């Protein structure tokens, strides 16, 4: 007789091990997270403290809250949403700014402007550089390294697409006369500031930068970090130009917002030698070109510039209204855009 057989010979299963239990004897394991079902309603964080992102460094964010910069990390609920310098964010956690404190970024406010670039012109994957800037300060040296007109065109296209007001700053004018270089941009109503290697035009720059958020861009070695240091009192590393290659050494590795001495903010970005435009909307570029072109100010046939078709602007160029430099700049922009596979707005 096996151990599960009836030990007393009757039909009762009272002596059988399995006969000793029923469903009520089974222990139900409690829910470790509680018995209350999870709600699908998520907090909006509208009442959470807000701050302004001043820098990003390996998963940690410097956030200006009031008059202090705190350290924060990105909350899990943001998922893959990026947080970049210039973002306005909502925070939870410790926002005291005390040593060792850490807050969490739980929400990113809607962005007014967004400066982006891609790895190259055919790459549609964009890299966000700065959010919510008002204007772009394009820094270029008159010499050492030699100025690159086409790179400036790329910066202008990126500024036009992002809705930023471009400003051209020519450094090292004591090394070369920038007049011939500036003639390339005579068709555009750009604000231009010049500076020597040993002199920073503080008055002219403060007039432009005060009460604004300005993102700086420029080729490595043009003196961008030197300019930023003089205006903000910071100590960003500065580099020199290689005498063999004629190229500058990268000295800034990440974007950081620095306060201008008399007001306003400068967002200093890493120096680059290329600026991909695979993400650009051609319509934005041509509308912005029209608004910055010197002779083209009045509506064409009663059509406001922001509603004008791109080929109408091209027709004005062919009529000679912009002059030779206008044709050159617009041809450069068209080449950039059509090279990315965009339809040529000058053809039907």
pLDDT band at 112 (very low <50, low <70, confident <90, very high): very high
Non-local (6+) Cβ contacts of 311 within 8 A are 345, 346, 347, 348
Backbone angles phi, psi at 198, to 5 degrees: -110, 15
Whole-angstrom distance, CA of residue 103 vs CA of residue 27:
42
pLDDT band at 70 (very low <50, low <70, confident <90, very high): very high
Place of tokens 């850490």: 102
Side-chain-facing half-sphere of 270: CA atoms under 13 Å: 15
- Please indicate whether residue 323 or residue 131 has the higher confidence score (pLDDT): 131
Segment 32-66, tens digit of pLDDT: 655 666 666 677 788 899 999 999 998 899 999 99
pLDDT above 50: residue 10: yes
Closest to 121 measured CA to CA, from 276, 310, 335: 276
Backbone angles phi, psi at 313, to 5 degrees: -65, -40
Strand 213-218, strand 103-108: pairing:
unpaired
pLDDT band at 140 (very low <50, low <70, confident <90, very high): very high
Q: How far is CA 181 from CA 95, 148, 168, 193, 247, in A?
A: 49, 9, 12, 13, 19
| Residue 169, token pair as written in the block | 């700053």
DSSP 77: G
pLDDT above 60: residue 240: no
On the 0-12 / 13-18 / 19+ scale of CB atoms within 10 A, 306 is exposed
pLDDT above 70: residue 236: no
């Amino acid at each position: 007789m096996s151990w599960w057989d009836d030990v007393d010979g009757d039909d009762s299963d009272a002596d059988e091990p399995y006969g000793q239990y029923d469903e009520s004897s089974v222990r139900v394991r409690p829910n470790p997270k509680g018995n209350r079902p999870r709600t699908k309603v998520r907090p909006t964080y509208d009442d959470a403290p807000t701050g302004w992102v001043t820098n990003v460094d390996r998963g940690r964010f410097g956030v200006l809250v009031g008059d202090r910069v705190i350290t924060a990390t990105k909350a899990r609920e943001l998922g893959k949403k990026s947080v970049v310098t210039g973002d306005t964010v909502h925070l939870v956690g410790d926002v005291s700014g005390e040593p060792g404190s850490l807050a969490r970024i739980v929400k990113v406010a809607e962005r007014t402007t967004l400066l982006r670039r891609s790895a190259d012109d055919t790459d549609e994957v964009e890299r966000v550089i700065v959010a919510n800037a008002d204007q772009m300060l394009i820094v270029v040296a008159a010499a050492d390294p030699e100025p690159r007109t086409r790179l400036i065109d790329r910066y202008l296209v990126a500024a036009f697409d992002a809705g930023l007001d471009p400003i051209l700053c020519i450094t090292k004018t004591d090394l070369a006369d920038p007049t011939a270089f500036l003639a390339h941009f005579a068709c555009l109503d750009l604000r231009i500031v010049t500076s020597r290697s040993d002199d920073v035009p503080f008055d002219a720059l403060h007039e432009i930068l005060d009460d604004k958020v300005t993102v700086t861009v420029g080729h490595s070695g043009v003196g961008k970090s030197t300019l930023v240091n003089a205006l903000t009192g910071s100590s960003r590393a500065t580099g020199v130009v290689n005498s063999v290659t004629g190229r500058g050494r990268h000295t800034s590795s990440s974007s950081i917002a620095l306060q201008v001495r008399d007001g306003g903010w400068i967002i200093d970005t890493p120096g680059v030698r290329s600026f991909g435009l695979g993400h650009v909307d051609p319509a934005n570029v041509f509308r912005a070109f029209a608004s910055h072109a010197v002779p083209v100010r009045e509506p064409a046939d009663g059509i406001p510039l922001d509603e004008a078709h791109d080929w109408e602007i091209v027709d004005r160029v062919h009529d000679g209204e912009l002059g030779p430099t206008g044709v050159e700049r617009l041809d450069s922009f068209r080449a950039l855009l059509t090279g990315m596979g965009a339809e040529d707005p000058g053809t039907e």
